[in-house]
């Protein structure tokens, strides 16, 4: 069976849905026999997902411009440098503010024992953002490399728990940074998901190195041509603004302004606005010194987490505890989703007080690594021995079952 023989899902055709399910479930379920040319895809026509109101409105251009600029400034620390005397007062004030904030978002490292008591006897699944969580925020987004010791720690986590990286970056770019084929990868804010088909990681590594994906879920596949077009227009319209960088993340476009002088932010925002007004089916969100342009559909990191939990057979269960760690506004949907489960742990990475739905806090990637290391140690020590992390309701959550679940229809 070739990739082209897979039938896209359609909300208007039960026959097409049945045919797609049949085609998907006839894929070989062992990676040792999986030809590198076979890819299990599940494109979802855009009319199968609810659309959101576009974030851009021509009649409200001025109001939106002000909101954009305020959001851009909110993501950026002040450039002025206080005097030595002022710096002590500023430090004390910020420290006091952060301490007050952590009363409502306690540091997870100090709560680890309590969390593990709640996790005892439950299946733990780990979901991680990339930039600012597994790697530090850097001036050049192409150089957000993952430290070898962090990679080793994430590898250990994936050995014991289902582990996914959910990023606004393109999925392939994130994989190039992480280079761990045993993980699930959700790029473009969850609009492009790949998962390992089997526990035969050596074979999967070969497939990934050849650029062949195993399982792909792409709920906004019809937007790909439009995103390609918009990226080219943005690159042309911003090329004379020093420091501006357009990153094509497959189903999303990122306008980085970290290296743009603050006096040029208005000009950059206006250029982006002029592009956005012509594409009402796209929406705009803000991140840490980045403007994110994406399809205006109701799909986000929270829905990606839910999809992966369903694919793993771990959704709607009282014996599951998902852990989500992220640092940006786009992670808030995932925090809310995890908080809505009976058991869940949402952790914001931040050294400053922020408005967030996360229940816990952690300061930086070095503390994230420490937390993940503690999680692995807890598992290896057998403290969760009252429950098998690979079973649910008498069924084994095996890699084969994961592949079957991902390839089968689910309700959106």
Cβ atoms < 10 Å from Cβ of 83: 9
Cα angle vertex 397, ends 394, 401, to 5°? 115
Strand order in the sheet with 163-166: 40-43, 215-218, 192-195, 184-187, 163-166, 123-128, 320-326, 345-349, 360-362
List helix spans (H) across 112-264: 112-119, 148-160, 171-178, 201-209, 224-238
Strand extents, DSSP E, 38-83: 40-43
**How far apart, in whole angstroms, are the C-alpha atoms of residue 394 and residue 298?**
34
255 near 291, Cβ under 8 Å?
yes
Strands 253-256 and 290-295, bridge-based pairing: antiparallel
Nearest to 162 by CA among 410, 400, 403, 397: 397
Q: Parallel, antiparallel, or unpaired for β 163-166 and 184-187?
A: parallel
Q: Which residue has the tokens 């005097």?
A: 83
Q: Could you tell me if 79 and 289 are in contact, meaning their C-beta atoms sit under 8 angstroms apart?
A: no
Strand, coil or helix: 294? strand
State the Cα–Cα distance between residues 247 and 61, nearest whole angstrom.
24
Confirm whether 331 is a catalytic residue: no
**Which H or E element spans position 246?**
strand 245-248
Q: What secondary structure letter does DSSP report for 161?
A: S
Active-site choice (129, 156, 213, 300) = 129
**Segments in 161-289 forming alpha helices (H):** 171-178, 201-209, 224-238, 265-276
Give the residue among 191, 132, 127, 135 at the shortest CA–CA distance from 325: 127
Dihedral sign (CA 244, 246, 247, 251): positive
From 293, 357, 371, select the one nearest 329 (Cα to Cα).
357
Residues belonging to the active site: 129
């Amino acid at each position: 069976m070739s990739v082209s023989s897979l039938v896209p899902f359609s909300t208007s055709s039960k026959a097409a849905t049945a045919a797609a399910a049949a085609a998907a479930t006839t894929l070989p379920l062992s990676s040792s026999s999986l030809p590198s040319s076979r890819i299990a895809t599940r494109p979802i026509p855009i009319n199968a997902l609810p659309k959101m109101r576009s974030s851009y409105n021509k009649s409200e251009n001025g109001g939106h411009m002000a909101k954009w600029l305020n959001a851009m400034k909110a993501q950026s620390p002040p450039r002025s440098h206080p005097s030595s005397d002022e710096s002590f007062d500023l430090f004390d004030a910020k420290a006091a503010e952060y301490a007050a904030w952590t009363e409502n978002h306690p540091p997870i490292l100090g709560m680890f024992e309590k969390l593990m008591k709640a996790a005892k006897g439950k299946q733990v699944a780990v979901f991680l953002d990339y930039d600012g969580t597994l790697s530090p925020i850097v001036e050049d987004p192409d150089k957000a490399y993952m430290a070898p010791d962090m990679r080793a720690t994430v590898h250990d986590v994936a050995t014991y728990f289902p582990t996914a990286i959910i990023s606004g970056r393109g999925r392939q770019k994130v994989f190039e940074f992480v280079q761990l084929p045993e993980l699930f990868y959700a790029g473009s804010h969850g609009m492009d998901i790949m998962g390992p088909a089997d526990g035969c990681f050596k074979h999967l590594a070969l497939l990934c190195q050849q650029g062949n994906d195993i399982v792909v879920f792409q709920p906004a596949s019809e937007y790909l041509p439009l995103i390609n077009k918009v990226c080219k227009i943005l690159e042309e319209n911003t090329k004379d603004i020093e420091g501006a960088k357009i990153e094509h993340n497959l189903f999303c476009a990122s306008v980085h302004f970290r290296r743009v002088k603050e006096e040029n932010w208005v000009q950059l925002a206006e250029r982006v606005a002029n592009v956005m007004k012509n594409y009402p089916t796209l929406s705009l969100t803000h991140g840490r010194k980045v403007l994110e342009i994406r399809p205006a559909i109701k799909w986000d990191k929270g829905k990606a987490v839910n999809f992966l939990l369903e694919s793993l057979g771990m959704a709607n269960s009282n014996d599951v505890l998902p852990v989500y760690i992220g640092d940006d506004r786009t992670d808030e949907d995932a925090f809310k989703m995890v908080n809505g489960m009976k058991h869940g742990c949402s952790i914001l990475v931040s050294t400053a007080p922020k408005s967030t739905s996360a229940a816990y806090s952690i300061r930086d990637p070095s503390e994230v690594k420490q937390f993940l290391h503690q999680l692995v140690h807890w598992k290896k020590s057998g403290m969760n021995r009252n429950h098998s992390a690979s079973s649910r309701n008498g069924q084994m959550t095996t890699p084969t079952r994961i592949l079957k679940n991902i390839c089968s229809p689910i309700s959106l």
